[in-house]
Amino acid sequence: MNRDWKSIARGLALGIPESEIEKIEAPLQDLTNHFNSILDTLPHETEPAVIFRCGEEGE
């Protein structure tokens, strides 16, 4: 399902002109579609590769 990038930009008050969003929405949608297809294989318990460490003990 395609995202409504103009609505997202308006909702977040990003100040991006609509004409600029029109230039980027196709590549952004392509990227998002491919990313979503990859996510189907992501195991539920997987933690992010970037993890907060509390002090040197975690290193």
- Which residues of the shown chain bind other proteins in the complex (CB under 8 A)? 5, 8-9, 12, 14-16, 20-21, 23-24, 27-28, 31-32, 34-35, 38-39, 41-43, 46-50, 53, 59
Specify the residue, 1 or 35, whose C-beta has the smaller distance to other proteins: 35
Nearest-approach distance from CB 1 to other proteins, in angstroms: 14
Element (H, E) at 32: helix 18-39
Residue type, 53: R
Nearest-approach distance from CB 38 to other proteins, in angstroms: 5
Instruction: Identify which of 23, 17, 21, 27 has the alpha carbon closest to the alpha carbon of residue 5.
Output: 21
